[in-house]
Amino acid sequence: MMVNTAWDQDCGVVYDVYNEPAGCLSVTDRRKLYEFLKLASEVDYRYIFLDIRFEKNVVTPYDSLLYSQIALMPRVVYSYHRPDDDARIDYVEIPGKYAYADYRVAKGDPFSRYEFLQEGSESVALRLYRDLDGKTINRDKLGTFRNSDGSLCYNMQFIPFPLSAANQYGQQGRIIYPRLGSQLMDIFTPDELKRMMSGKIIVIGNFYEDQQETYIGEVPGPLLSVYAWKLLERGSHKVSFGLQFFLFVFYTLALYIMLLPEDLKKIKNPVVALLLSLLGWGFFLFALQSFIFWLFGLSFIVIIPTILFSLVNFYQTIKDNLRIKD
Task: Look at residue 301 and tell me whether its pLDDT is greater than 90.
Answer: no
The reported pLDDT for the residue numbered 77 is 94
The pLDDT tens digits of the residues spanning 58-76 come to 888 998 899 999 999 999 9
Asked if residue 114 lies in contact with residue 228, where contact means CB atoms within 8 angstroms, the answer is yes
DSSP 9-65: EEEEEEE-TTS-EEEEEEEE-HHHHHHHHHHHTTS--SEEEEE---BTTEE-TTHHH
Global pTM value: 0.78
Q: Cα–Cα distance between 72 and 130 in angstroms, integer?
A: 19
| Average pLDDT of the chain to the nearest whole number | 81
Q: How much is the pLDDT for 171?
A: 77
Three-state SS string over 243-269 comes to HHHHHHHHHHHHHHHHHCCHHHCCCCC
Calpha distance 112→224 (Å, rounded): 10
Span 249-269, pLDDT tens digits = 877 877 777 666 655 556 565
Average pLDDT over residues 234-254: 82
